[in-house]
Amino acid sequence: MNVQFTLAIRYLSGRKLRTVLTTLAIVFGVLVIFGMNTMLPAFMRAFQSNVLAAAGQVDATITLKTSDAFDANVAGNVAAVTGVRAVSGFLNRTINVPPGYFDGDSATAGTVTALSLVGINVAQATILHAYPIKEGRFLESGDSAAAVISKSLAEAIGVRLGETFTLPAAGGETVLTVVGILPARALPGNEEVLVTLPQAQTMLAMPGKINTIEANYDTLDKTRRAEIERAILGTLGDTYQVGSLASNSELLANMYIAQAIFSLLGVLALLMGGFIIFNTFRTVVAERRRDIGMLRALGANRTTITGLILSEGLVQGLVGTATGLVSGYLLGAGLISLLSPIMMQFLNAKLGSPVISLSLVIGSIVMGVGVTILAGLLPAMSASRVTPLDALRPPVGTISFKRLAGLGFWSGAAMIALAVVALITRNVGLIGLGGVLFILGLILMAPALVNPIANLFAALAAAIFARGGTAQLAEGNLSRQPTRAAITASTTLIGMAILVMAASMMSSIQIGFGRVMRKSLGSDYLLIPPSVSVWGTNVGASPKLAEELRAVNGVAAVSTLRFAPTQINGVAVSLLGIDPASYSQVSGLTFSAGTEATAYAALGEGRNIIFNPVLAASAGVKAGDEITLIAPTGQQAYRVVAIAGDFINAKIATGYISHANIEADFNRSEDVFLQINLAPQADTQATESALKGVLKAYPQFRLIAGQEYMEEALRLFNAAFAGMIVLVIFLAVPSLIAMVNTLAIGVIERTREIGMLRAVGATRRQVRTIIVTEAIILAAIGTAFGVLSGLYLGYMGVETIRAAGFPMEYVFPAAGVLLAVVAGILFGVLAAVIPARQAARLVIVQALRYE
């Protein structure tokens, strides 16, 4: 064995505790990088199929150009095309039923005159679509004469779970048993009756046939998707056609954004893993420098030193990385198998198995071994740049703020300024970059800020528990080596930042999302047209409907929306008419500029308009501006009185004016969406059936309880973002452990100083107090910065979700911040207790001799 390697092994085995702790840092670093990134694809896929499924969409729908049925085996040919991830064959037919077919009352038009019979291949279809069963169960492949229908259809035709209904079929009427009920249909199109594929084939007398193939692709990349589409047509021939999800669709855009967030989490994991490793090694740097100086004095040249550090890094890096890879995989796989049933049950999201790519393995090894070596080489390089004597000398003297506030400090300040600017732009990409800049900026500024902050916390500690000068001593220890303190504290920073980020996102999602939704859809009942938010295609109802509804016993208030398309500054705008007086009683906008009271009042007074945030941003308009609307009656000047939005129109450029104005300027008086509130003492059941009675004449509307609609929206939302929260928590936990690790190493490395303290008369108790105080101050600095960064990152996360089209308010995570502070202090104490006990027990002479 050569000398470098011998020395490396000796150093590693001679400092067992340090070696174990630093190797642990590598393990955690690699674990985060590897575990996170093996889980990411599974979560990302679950997310993509979920969003598509929840929206009732697929990447591609394949049919014959003639719309005829074809052989069911064709689905297999499509599945064989590279890039096609999932395929399912369907047989569906519209079945028209005569008036009164279900309710036996042929005098009035029935609520159901047409529905779709859909035969599905159960195993394949459940991969492509979400079927969130509310009652009973979903179809099973062996089922015959079984059907699953929506709650709204069940109510319309008057059947309950377990009951039967009949449908006209090729071989005469078929009796089907309702085995499961889905939520009320909120999508455009006919109500569907789901049966197994063989059942549908029998009913329609088309054995072995299907007429639609649906497929999902494995990529979001536009050119790749076009290639896959061409490949499918190439396989099937030109009698077939592929209907694809438009590449500029809003859904696809949302998925791009979500993919960016997931990738950002992966990058964050990479950064954090590297940082944990780097920081830990930087913590032991002072001692390294001295060792290197000694070796240099004995005649070791730079190559030998580099070789030594390389060997050490290699040994430690390989062991740590291997352990990290294995434990990262186990953790990822364990978490997925733990979460799979939960996600499946509540969110209908399938999680695949962890994905290991060669590039990820190589990347993790490069990070694990590379960062370890780099973190060791930096002190080695700086030690070999100075004379051996300088390397041997302990760094002494106070370091002035001026010296610390050099290039690093100011470039850090500039980065933070840029991050804040990025936040203002509200551009998701820039905000993401801003998050990284913000953390880097804080880390660069940290050394100069250690002294004042340490002073502050020392004063606090002195007042609370560390009397007799111990707090000042602890503070002095930190202030003397601000760079080392800053490095140790920055591990805490990262851990806390991620914790607070997770807390911000969760509180905003739970509170902010619910708040916007409740305000907007919190009425007792909603009357929903076939197409929500794309209002133009809907057939509305005359104001008579609202009058009839108001007359129903138990109804307290009815508010309606009217629609007219228009243009502002060349932007297509969906214009909604509201009744300023009743709207706020039943529903409500969430204001970001202007106030509720004045804005509604202004709408009732003249040509005033409220812009929703999307419109305000796309038209470049702010409250107080005058704008011109293109109306059938000519151009009309309106004044913008507020910026405010509601839930369902959040993604669409929308303006709100009064009923009176939309009628006068746009000639629109039909209601397209109605919300109903009941009186407090109303008999809910009686009122509901009375409402249904009124609605028989208006089959274009479905009556849905507000609560039910909200739950459904929340379910969709959770399906999309629950995975993301899990991943953020996955990042936070190892970083907290890493923080304890780094703090503990910091204490161990100062054994000698501790011996000195005991030698000059410090009692064991005082030594303990000093060390614990020091760790707490250090943790407090890290926590303070971490909370700041976390607030930024959390705000960023919320902004990103908002940009993805889910309206929500940012909610300050008070509980999360409190939790972070408590965790910071707790972990600080935890990290110090064991080394402090050890240090206090040390025989003084031995401690002094520790090098």
Residues 167-226 that bind another protein (CB under 8 A): none
403 or 467: whose CB is closer to another protein?
403
14 or 56: whose CB is closer to another protein?
14
The stretch among 9-17, 138-146, 523-531, 580-588 that binds another protein (CB under 8 A) is: 9-17
Query: Rounded to whole angstroms, how far apart are CA atoms 205 and 117?
Result: 13
Distance, CA of 655 to chain centre: 29
Closest approach, Cβ 25 to another protein, in A, equals 20
Query: Rounded to whole angstroms, how far apart are CA atoms 261 and 397?
Result: 46
388 or 447: whose CB is closer to another protein?
388
Q: Is 504:796 a contact under the CB 8 Å cutoff? A: no
Contact between 7 and another protein by CB under 8 A: the answer reads: yes
- Residue 531 CB-density burial (10 A; 0-12 exposed, 13-18 middle, 19+ buried): middle
Closest approach, Cβ 292 to another protein, in A, equals 11
User: 527 - beta bridge partners?
Assistant: 674, 703
Tokens of 809: 């308010």
Query: Rounded to whole angstroms, how far apart are CA atoms 740 and 746?
Result: 10
Under rule CB under 8 A, how many of the chain's residues touch another protein?
28
Q: Is 631:666 a contact under the CB 8 Å cutoff? A: yes
Contact between 304 and another protein by CB under 8 A: the answer reads: yes
Closest approach, Cβ 393 to another protein, in A, equals 10
9 or 206: whose CB is closer to another protein?
9
Closest approach, Cβ 767 to another protein, in A, equals 21
Q: Is 96:113 a contact under the CB 8 Å cutoff? A: yes
Contact between 14 and another protein by CB under 8 A: the answer reads: yes
DSSP 8-state assignment for residue 102: T
Q: One-letter amino acid identity for 248?
A: N
Residue selected from 10, 224, 550, 692 as contacting another protein according to rule CB under 8 A: 10
Closest approach, Cβ 741 to another protein, in A, equals 22
Query: Rounded to whole angstroms, how far apart are CA atoms 137 and 788?
Result: 48
Contact between 297 and another protein by CB under 8 A: the answer reads: yes
User: 75 - beta bridge partners?
Assistant: none
Q: One-letter amino acid identity for 368?
A: G
Contact between 23 and another protein by CB under 8 A: the answer reads: no
Query: Rounded to whole angstroms, how far apart are CA atoms 66 and 71?
Result: 14
Residue selected from 171, 299, 634, 680 as contacting another protein according to rule CB under 8 A: 299
User: 193 - beta bridge partners?
Assistant: 117, 149
Contact between 300 and another protein by CB under 8 A: the answer reads: yes
Query: Rounded to whole angstroms, how far apart are CA atoms 265 and 39?
Result: 11
The stretch among 10-18, 96-104, 366-374, 619-627 that binds another protein (CB under 8 A) is: 10-18
Task: Report the DSSP pairing between strands 654-658 and 571-578.
Answer: parallel
Residues 377-396 that bind another protein (CB under 8 A): 387-390, 392
Closest approach, Cβ 849 to another protein, in A, equals 6
Q: Is 521:302 a contact under the CB 8 Å cutoff? A: no
Contact between 298 and another protein by CB under 8 A: the answer reads: yes
CA distances from 90 to 187, 799, 815 (A): 19, 39, 49
Query: Rounded to whole angstroms, how far apart are CA atoms 621 and 717?
Result: 30
Contact between 296 and another protein by CB under 8 A: the answer reads: yes
Q: Which of 645, 642, 661, 662 is nearest to 653 (CA)?
A: 645
Residue selected from 93, 302, 607, 837 as contacting another protein according to rule CB under 8 A: 302
DSSP 8-state assignment for residue 15: S
The stretch among 6-14, 51-59, 342-350, 375-383 that binds another protein (CB under 8 A) is: 6-14
User: Which string of x and - marks every residue 812-851 that binds another protein (by CB under 8 A)?
Assistant: ----------------------------------x--x-x
Contact between 291 and another protein by CB under 8 A: the answer reads: yes
The stretch among 12-20, 163-171, 196-204, 730-738 that binds another protein (CB under 8 A) is: 12-20
Q: Is 796:432 a contact under the CB 8 Å cutoff? A: yes
15 or 484: whose CB is closer to another protein?
15
Other C-beta atoms closer than 10 Å to the C-beta of 109 total 13
Closest approach, Cβ 14 to another protein, in A, equals 3
Tokens of 194: 């789901």
8 or 178: whose CB is closer to another protein?
8
DSSP 8-state assignment for residue 533: S
301 or 689: whose CB is closer to another protein?
301
Contact between 286 and another protein by CB under 8 A: the answer reads: no
Residue selected from 15, 18, 659, 802 as contacting another protein according to rule CB under 8 A: 15
35 or 293: whose CB is closer to another protein?
293
32 or 295: whose CB is closer to another protein?
295
Give the footprint of another protein on this chain (CB under 8 A). Answer: 1, 3, 6-7, 10-11, 13-15, 291, 294-302, 304, 387-390, 392, 846, 849, 851
